[in-house]
Chain A
Amino acid sequence: MTWATSQGWKHLLLLGFGFVMIYPLIWMFVKSLTPSATLDAALSFDGLTFENYIEGWTSLTVPFGRFMANSMLVAVLCIVGNLASCTLAAYAFARLQFRLRGPLFGLMLATIMLPFHVTIVPQYILFHTLGWINTYVPLVLPKFLAVESFFVFLMVQFIRGIPRTLDDAAALDGCGPFRTFFRVILPLCIPAIGVTTVFTFIWTWNDFFTPLLYLSKPDLYTVPVGLSTFQDSTGLSNYGALFAMSILSLVPVFIVFLFAQRALTRGIATTGIK
C-alpha cells in the first residue's frame, strides 16, 4: 500500500468513527429543533422551529434562564475562589522553604486521590449546622479553601518551570515573597491560570451532585438540577423541549471548548484532569 492510500484509509476510519461518536449530539440538536419531536430516529429537517426552546424556557415555574444565571454566578465565584487559593498555596509549595513543606506537599498530593464520599457526610452536617443549606456557600467556599488540589498541583508544576533567577532578581531589587508573587510569578502563570479557569468553569457548570445535595429551592437551582427536575416533570411527553434545554445547557461548555482547546488539551496532557 502506498502512503497516500494508507493515509486515505486512515482518514476514512477516523472520520467514520468520529461521526459515530458525535452523531448522538447532532441527533439531539436536530430533534431540539423539530416540531413535536417523536422518538423516531429518522431525522427530518422540515419546518425546523424554535418552539421547543420557547416552551422549555418557560414551562417550569422558574424560567430556565434563572438556572443559567445561577450557574453562571456559581461558576464565576468558584473560578475566583480556585484562582485565589490555589495560586497562593502553589507559590508556597513551589518556591518557599518551610519546615513542614515535605509532609504538607505529600498531604496535598494525597488529597487529589481522595474519593469525595469520605468527607461528604460530615461536610453536609457541618454546612447544615451552620445554616448554609439553600445557599451557595457549600458550593463556593471549598474553592476559596483550595479543596481542589489538582489545581494546586498544576500550578506547582507550572511555577517550577519558571526560572528561579527571576525570583533572585526580584529579591535583589528588594522584593519580599509577596511582591515577588504578585509582580513576578503571578503574571508568568497566565497559562496555568487559563487552564484552571477553563476547567473550574466546566466542572462547576456540569456538577450535579453538590447542588443536588445542598439546594432544594427551585429558585436557586443550577442548570443540571434544573434539567433533572425538568426531565422528571415532563417525562417522555415533551422531550423536544427537554432536548432544547439540554442543548442550551451544553452551549457554554461548547463555547469554552471552541475557544480554549489548546489550554484544555495541555491541561489534560500534563495533569490528567478532565
Chain B
Amino acid sequence: MVALGNPAQALDRRSRAGARAPRRRGGAVAYVFLIPWLIGVIGITLGPMLASLYLSFTDYRLGSTPSWVGAANYVRLFTQDDRFIASAGVTARYVLVSVPLQLVFALAIAVLLDRGVRGLAIYRSIYYLPSLLGSSVAVAVLWRQIFSSQGLVVQVADWFGITMGGWIADPAHALDTLIVLNVWTFGSPMVIFLAGLRQIPNDLVEAARVDGAGALRRFWSVILPLLSPVVFFNLVLQLIGAFQAFTPAYIISSGTGGPADSTLFYSLYLFQSGFQAFNMGYASAMAWILFIVIGAFTAVNFIASKYWVHYET
C-alpha cells in the first residue's frame, strides 16, 4: 500500500503491471459511460444514415409523405441533370488540383523548416494561421474582394505588367480562386509533416550524406520513403475535407454556384436541392453518391498505399 501510494514508485512498476492478465473491470458499467455516445451514434448518425438511404429511393418534400420511386433519383441525376454533372466536375477539379498542390506546398515548407531553422515557432505560426481562418466566412468575403475585377490580385498583377481581369465573375477562372484558397490553407498538413519529419532519425540522413548523397537524393531516397505514412495520412485527410467543401463557394457565389455554375460545389448543389428546392429524396441520393465516392477514393488510397507507403517494422 505504501508503495502504491507513491506516484513515482507506481510509475516505476509500469512495465510489470502492463504484463498482467487483462483486467476484468468494466462490463455493464462501461455502457453507462457510453450512454451519450451511444444515443448520438444511434440517434444522430446511424439512424439518419439508414433514413437517408431510404429517402434516396423516394420522392420526398418536407411535410409530405415519402413516395417510393425506386432508383429514379439516381437515374435522373446521371442522365437528366446537367447541374449535377457540372457540380461533380467542379468538385473533381477542385479536389484533384488543390489537394496535390496543397500537399506539395506543405511538404516543401515543412522540409525547409525541419532542421535547424531559427524562429521555427514564428514561421510555423505564420504558415499555420490561414488554416485556422480558411473555412471562415470572413476569409471567403476577403477572397471575393481580392479576386474581383478591381481587387488586390488584379492590382498586383498590374504592377508586374500582367493584365488580367477579375476571376470571380469569370466562369473560366472562378473555381481557381477557390483552389488558391484551399492551397493557402496548407498549414495544417504542414504541421503534420513537421511532426513526421521530427520522427526520422538523424543518423539515417547523416549516413546518406556520408555516402555522398546530395540534398535532393537524401530527400528522395531517405526522407520521403520514411515520411510516406505521413504523406498518406495527409492525403486521405485532405481529400475527404476537399470533397466536402462548402462555405467558400457559397460565399463567393452568394449561394448560387455561379458564374455559370463554375463554382457549383457538390455540397452546394446538394444544399440547394435539399434545403432550398426541398427535394429531400433527391438530396439524399446525392449524399449517398458522395459517400460512395469518398469511400471508394479512400479505399483505393489504402490499397495503393501498399505500394508506396513504407512502414518501419
| Interface pick from B92-100, B120-128, B221-229 | B120-128
Q: A125-B62, A169-B10, A228-B137 are contacts. A98–B150 as well, Cβ < 8 Å? A: no
Among B4, B28, B286, the most chain A Cβ lie within 10 Å of the Cβ of B4
Chain A positions within 8 Å of B128 at CB level = 264-265
Q: Mark B17-30, 1 if CB is under 8 A from A, else 0.
A: 11000111111111
> Across the two chains, which residue of chain B brings its CB closest to A23?
B152
| Interface pick from B73-81, B201-209, B237-245, B305-313 | B237-245
Q: Are A84 and B36 in contact (CB under 8 A)?
A: yes
The CA of A128 and the CA of B246, in the complex, are separated in Å by 22
> Across the two chains, which residue of chain A brings its CB closest to B286?
A117
- Which of B11, B145, B251 contacts A165, CB < 8 Å? B11
- Which of B37, B48, B133, B234 contacts A122, CB < 8 Å? B48
Chain B positions within 8 Å of A72 at CB level = none
The CA of A173 and the CA of B6, in the complex, are separated in Å by 12
Give residues 92-121 of B contacting A (CB, 8 Å): 109, 112-113, 116-119, 121
Chain A positions within 8 Å of B145 at CB level = 28, 39, 239, 243
Whether a CB of chain A sits under 8 angstroms from the CB of B49 is: yes
| Interface pick from A45-53, A58-66, A138-146 | A138-146
Secondary structure dominating the interface of B:
helix
A-B interface contact total, Cβ < 8 Å: 297
The CA of A128 and the CA of B64, in the complex, are separated in Å by 13
Q: Are A249 and B138 in contact (CB under 8 A)?
A: yes
The CA of A176 and the CA of B51, in the complex, are separated in Å by 39
Chain B positions within 8 Å of A231 at CB level = 141, 144, 251, 254
> Across the two chains, which residue of chain A brings its CB closest to B141?
A246
- Which of B17, B22, B47, B142 contacts A25, CB < 8 Å? B142
> Across the two chains, which residue of chain B brings its CB closest to A256?
B132
- Which of B26, B244, B267, B270 contacts A98, CB < 8 Å? B26
Give residues 187-225 of B contacting A (CB, 8 Å): 188, 191-192, 194-195
The CA of A98 and the CA of B24, in the complex, are separated in Å by 9
Among A18, A223, A236, the most chain B Cβ lie within 10 Å of the Cβ of A18
Whether a CB of chain A sits under 8 angstroms from the CB of B70 is: no
Chain B positions within 8 Å of A40 at CB level = 150, 155
Chain B positions within 8 Å of A41 at CB level = 151-152, 154-156
> Across the two chains, which residue of chain A brings its CB closest to B251?
A228
Q: Are B10 and A118 in contact (CB under 8 A)?
A: no
Give residues 131-190 of A contacting B (CB, 8 Å): 141-142, 144-147, 152, 163-166, 168-169, 171-173, 176-178, 181
| A259 vs chain B, min Cβ distance (A) | 12
Whether a CB of chain A sits under 8 angstroms from the CB of B272 is: no
Q: Are A91 and B244 in contact (CB under 8 A)?
A: no
- Which of B4, B39, B44, B191 contacts A269, CB < 8 Å? B191
B residues adjacent to A (C-beta < 8 A): 1, 4-5, 7, 10-11, 13-14, 17-18, 22-31, 33-37, 39-41, 43-45, 47-49, 51-52, 55, 62, 109, 112-113, 116-119, 121, 123-133, 135-139, 141-146, 148, 150-152, 154-156, 184-185, 188, 191-192, 194-195, 233-234, 237, 240-241, 243-244, 246-247, 250-251, 254, 267, 270-271, 274-275, 280, 283-284, 286-288, 290-291, 294, 298
Question: A115-B287, A122-B47, A208-B247 given. 6 additional CB < 8 A pairs?
Answer: A21-B130, A92-B31, A117-B270, A124-B274, A177-B26, A264-B132
Closest 6 A/B residue pairs (Cβ): A145-B40, A96-B26, A41-B155, A269-B195, A122-B48, A274-B188
